[in-house]
Structure 1
Amino acid sequence: MSNYPGHQVHVDKQVLLRNFTNKRELVRHAITRFATSYLTLERLHKEKANIRKMFTSDEWTLNKLSKEPKRKEATKVVLMPSFWNSVVYTLKVMAPLVKVLRLVDGERKPAMGYIYEAMDKAKETIIKSFNNNEKFFYDNTDLEFDFEVTNGLFECIKKLIPQFDVQQKILTELHLYKIGADHFGSDFAMA
């Protein structure tokens, strides 16, 4: 047992949390930080009832530590419906993106056509999960022309395709990829 003052407090919180979540850990580690964040948020959502139960339990409310400002704030947040709505919203957006990241991070690097198709499917899935209501998934309806988005696309291309001449060809033919024109829409191009 450690002698630093906060150690016992940390252990007590962990024990209490494990008791209420049937010994399941909230943090689920994955290969990337993004995937770890997603899996942890997913677990948090699955354990929502147990976590809320913990924060309203006698073990929590009668504990003198629950009176500390940070712990009072944590209790308030966990009991707010808007917090859990935000968790659901985030999961709806992240789930399709995690699938794309798994595709890109795989051992076999997929063809650009597959990546673009996967991104399109992710976008469609996100849109459907919000019942086609644009206010939930578009901050900017001209997203395709948004500087941050296009800059992010260019950065991804640079990272995935280090050869400058290939990068230039991709950028030149990007519109053809989008509409599946010419040979870009063929089965061969998608393989």
Structure 2
Amino acid sequence: MTSQSFWQRAEKIVKAIKPLYEVLRAVNSERYPQMGFLYYMMERAKKQISENDPKHAQEFINIIEHRWDYQMGRDLHLAAYYLNLRFQYTILGIDMDSELLAALRKVIYKMVSDPEIASLCLQETK
């Protein structure tokens, strides 16, 4: 416990995971629905982790990505991010992002069994 290298490494770990902690606190808040913000918050947290600890960032990001894919499912969160008006009007090119559009299509086709109605839903998002 008196080792300087231990405390230096502990400080780096805390700096690296602080952005993830902030995401967890926001999601745990019951004031506002967070679905439409979660994808954005996670992307921002990964960027901050990369800036805070470039040497070890990929290790943390790999863990985050693995858990995200395994437990959360991306499509619903990507669709919510795409449909969030705050991002529609502030992020240039969001309406042309093929990954977001593909996720939105998957979610709509999963929710709406009638292809004609699903098509109309997709037209509404344009």
Q: Please give the TM-score of this superposition, normalised by the length of structure 2.
A: 0.51
Q: How many pairs were matched up?
A: 87
Q: CA RMSD in A?
A: 3.4
Match of 2:111 in 1: none
Match of 1:153 in 2: 72
Partner residue of 1:138 out of 58, 61, 64: 58
Within-5 A mapping of 1:28-177: 78-130=1-53, 133=54, 135-139=55-59, 143=62, 147-154=66-73, 170=76, 174=78
Instruction: Please list the CA deviations of residues 48-78 of structure 1 after superposition, one character each: whole Å capped at 9, or x if unmatched.
Output: xxxxxxxxxxxxxxxxxxxxxxxxxxxxxx2
Distance 2:22 2:66 in 1: 25
Distance 1:153 1:96 in 2: 18
Instruction: Please list the CA deviations of residues 106-158 of structure 1 after superposition, one character each: whole Å capped at 9, or x if unmatched.
Output: 1224342211111122111111112xx3x4111388x49x644411334xx8x
Distance 2:45 2:29 in 1: 17
Match of 1:11 in 2: none
> CA shift at 1:95, angstroms?
1.4
Instruction: Please list the CA deviations of residues 16-71 of structure 1 after superposition, one character each: whole Å capped at 9, or x if unmatched.
Output: xxxxxxxxxxxxxxxxxxxxxxxxxxxxxxxxxxxxxxxxxxxxxxxxxxxxxxxx
Contact 1:103–1:110 (Cα < 8 Å) also in 2: no
Between the aligned residues of both structures, percent identity stands at: 25
Rg larger for:
1
Q: Give the letter aligned to residue 19 of structure 2.
A: P
**Partner secondary structure for residue 98 of structure 1:** helix
- The 1:105/1:147 distance shift into structure 2, 3 A limit, reads closer
Q: Which runs of 4+ in 1 moved over 3 A?
A: 146-149
